[in-house]
A = this chain, B = another copy of it.
Amino acid sequence: MSETPWRGVFPIAPTPFHPDGRLDFASLDRLIDHYAAIGADGCTILGILGEAPKLDGAESLDIVRRCVTRWRAPFIVGVSAPGFAAMRSLARGALDAGAAAVMIAPPSHLRTDDQIVTYYAQAVEAIGADVPFVIQDYPLTLSVVMSPSVIRRIVMDNPSCLMLKHEDWPGLEKISTLRGFERDGSMRRVAILTGNGGLFLDFEMERGADGANTGYAFPEMLVDVVRLSAAGRRDEAHDLFDAHLPLLRYEQQPGVGLAVRKYVLKRRGVLSSDAQRKPGAGLTPAARAEVDYLLARLARHDERAALLL
């Protein structure tokens, strides 16, 4: 595990579909090629915004195989499932296919600290202690709140825990607290890549995050902000981030965000269709016009958006 660079930008890949609901592998290829071309460091597939629950087991593994064959980079595969049998099947299958790690979200009924810690212990037992895994900490959607001390317990109890996908909200202090645990010696170093749709990436990097693990229709911005921030070029990082923030914010609306993301990726020529499997929201003409307007405004600041004019 040691040589994999768990830092930088791991985009959360949407899953491309044809309008009739079939998997669109040609679009998937273009999407993965795009990530490779812009300098992403890896990729997360089959996450919530990857519509993972809408796939059956065979489709999920087909996607994993296609991706790892296409690009020699570390892939993280979402394996959250209502039970450990399905989680184990997908996790072992993904690793066998060449994935680098899996991502596990807690089920929404968990409440107490002990329940959360026990859940991760049982998940590790199910998938095998040799499978590197990522904790997904996403209370806004999952309804499970993990205090920093709970994350520390999971990290210290499970050597196979390699990363925290951080998307608590508010979360900046959480990053600082966890980095403090490392400094005071109570927690080993673990990668922290941030989600939250990138809405706080500018400051997350300054608080000690190792990069971004989120989706956005211009993942180039994520790559650039992470690099500028890592290079200490603070104002430039914020300038670029702020230029994208109006669109980024629009794309992060729960319930409609994925439709925006796919629509823009289609306009960019990456996806052939912005179709989602049911249940999935589409964009109304009014919403598409709003996105187009935001793209036109973004084009004043970012040449990659200017290509769409």
B112 touches A147 (CB 8 A): yes
B54 touches A279 (CB 8 A): no
The CA of A2 and the CA of B4, in the complex, are separated in Å by 61
Partner among B255, B278, B286 whose Cβ is within 8 Å of the Cβ of A125 = B278
Q: Which of A61-69, A211-219, A246-254, A267-275 contacts B (4 or more CB under 8 A)?
A: A246-254
The CA of A112 and the CA of B149, in the complex, are separated in Å by 10
Q: Which of A94-133 contact B (CB under 8 A)?
A: 108, 111-115, 118-119, 122, 125-126
The CA of A206 and the CA of B297, in the complex, are separated in Å by 16
Question: What count of chain A residues pass the 8 Å CB interface test?
Answer: 63
Copies in the complex: 4
Q: Which of A170-188 contact B (CB under 8 A)?
A: 170, 172-173, 176
* A308 in contact (CB, < 8 A): no
Closest to A172 in B: B287
Inter-chain contacts of A246 with B (CB < 8 A): 202, 238, 241-242, 245
Closest to A111 in B: B145
Q: Which of A192-212 contact B (CB under 8 A)?
A: 199-200, 202-203, 206-207
Interface of A is mostly: helix
Inter-chain contacts of A170 with B (CB < 8 A): 253-256
B147 touches A113 (CB 8 A): yes
Closest to A199 in B: B249
B126 touches A172 (CB 8 A): no
The CA of A206 and the CA of B287, in the complex, are separated in Å by 11
**With A147-B112, A170-B253, A172-B290 as contacts: A85 and B54 at CB distance below 8 Å:** yes
* A26 in contact (CB, < 8 A): no
The CA of A202 and the CA of B250, in the complex, are separated in Å by 11
B84 touches A54 (CB 8 A): yes
Closest chain B CB from A287 CB (angstroms): 7
A245 touches B238 (CB 8 A): no
Closest chain B CB from A248 CB (angstroms): 9
Closest to A55 in B: B85
B53 touches A82 (CB 8 A): yes
Partner among B118, B172, B242, B287 whose Cβ is within 8 Å of the Cβ of A173 = B287
A147 touches B56 (CB 8 A): no
* A36 in contact (CB, < 8 A): no
Inter-chain contacts of A85 with B (CB < 8 A): 54-56, 59, 277
The CA of A287 and the CA of B173, in the complex, are separated in Å by 8
3 A-B pairs with least C-beta separation: A53-B83, A53-B82, A111-B145
- A residues sitting closer than 8 Å to B (CB atoms) are 51-57, 59, 81-86, 89, 108, 111-115, 118-119, 122, 125-126, 139, 144-147, 149-150, 169-170, 172-173, 176, 199-200, 202-203, 206-207, 238, 241-242, 245-246, 249-250, 253-256, 277-279, 284, 286-287, 290, 297
